[in-house]
Structure 1
Amino acid sequence: MIIRTATAADAQGLAEIYNHAVENTVAILNETLVDAGNRAAWVAQRQGDGFPVLVAEEDGRVIGYASYGPWRPFHGFRETVEHSVYVRDGQRGKGLGRQLMQALIDQAKSDGLHMMVAAVTAGNDASIRLHEALGFEVTARMPQVGQKFGDWLELIFLQLRLDDRPSP
């Protein structure tokens, strides 16, 4: 397994992983499926804006991905990013998410960022444990801010401080 920068050629694999999460989980609070064209455009936009999209590849197949982007669209938040990490169904529990997250954290530090934020739907205990194992701390809980599959969902925010600068 290798972790590398995503290319447009990874779009179909990214779409498969994304769509599985849309259809079967509350990890993505979207109800619309995407195609390879959508994911290729997403990769191009994200990378064009200077943000990483990493993929985990095994035997030529995308088995996971991770990325980060702006936390909020205001200049004062420019050193804080929100990230996402997804692993293909059937590949979870093997440490892949941790490897992708560590690579993403290393990239964020290299990019001189200060804070990384995760928004995890309550009940996704595996993701919360992964983040906490990597040093993230729960900083907020927002009950009933999301909905999917006929339920109100709570969002849990976790943060990781990437450096020790006392000021920007």
Structure 2
Amino acid sequence: MENSIVIRPALEADLPAILDIYNEAVQNTTAIWNETLVDLPNRRMWLADRMAKKHPVLVADRNGDVLGYATYGIWRTIEGFRQTMEHSVYVRKGSQGGGIGSSLMRALISEAQARQIHVLVACIEAENSGSIKLHEKLGFKTVGKFSEVGQKFGRWLDLLCMQLRL
């Protein structure tokens, strides 16, 4: 049991690890289309905002080491979309492929169902085959693709949109 992963709500003490995971993705991947690194006060405000809106932030914890996190938030601000949420899931570099993303997503899906969310939306860079496969495995269906709607690392990126009806 010593090496088992526990999925639990994020605590303020987890923010340095969440910050590192986020900034690594910003700096080195197209999983996040932001180009600006954030600091710890930014992540504190982010977590406080999620908590105030009752949007879960879950972490994958192995012996006090945060290996990934998942959350969801408002997809569109118009009231008619209040039961549709867009989610994010990130796993620390070097820890991908071991089931952490799946465990986080299953827990996030359960949270969404308990809160009567109707649809989870995933917007994924179209060449991110690992994330696409993860979402397909969990039952997400591709519903569209936007071509060249964003830029990072000097190139245009396509956005693949997937959804899971709960």
Normalising by structure 2, we get a TM-score of 0.96
The answer to whether the aligner puts 1:128 opposite 2:132 as a matched pair is yes
Separation in structure 1 between the aligned mates of residue 97 and residue 44 of structure 2, nearest angstrom: 27
Quick one: distance in 1 between partners of 2:158 and 2:37? 22
Letter of the structure 2 residue corresponding to residue 57 of structure 1: D
SS of equivalent residue, structure 1 residue 46: helix
Q: What is the CA–CA distance in structure 2 between the aligned matches of 1:103 and 1:85, rounded to whole Å?
A: 11
Partner of 1:110: 114
Identity of matched residues, %: 53
Deviations 1:42-78 (A, max 9, x none): 1110111110000111121111000000010010000
User: What secondary structure sits across from 1:19 in the alignment?
Assistant: helix
Contact 1:11-1:37 at 8 Å conserved across structures? no
Aligned to 1:9: 13
Taking structure 1 as the reference length, what is the TM-score of the superposition? 0.95
- Cα RMSD of the aligned pairs, angstroms, is 0.6
Q: CA deviation at 1:2?
A: 0.7
> Letter of the aligned partner of 1:134 in structure 2?
L
Matched to 1:22, the amino acid is V
Partner of 1:146: 150
Number of the residue aligned with 1:73 = 77
Question: What CA distance in whole angstroms lies between the structure 2 residues aligned with 1:18 and 1:60?
Answer: 18
> Is residue 66–residue 84 contact of structure 1 (8 Å, CA) maintained in 2?
yes
The gaps in structure 1 that reach 5 residues or longer are 163-168
Structure 2 counterpart of 1:33, which letter? L
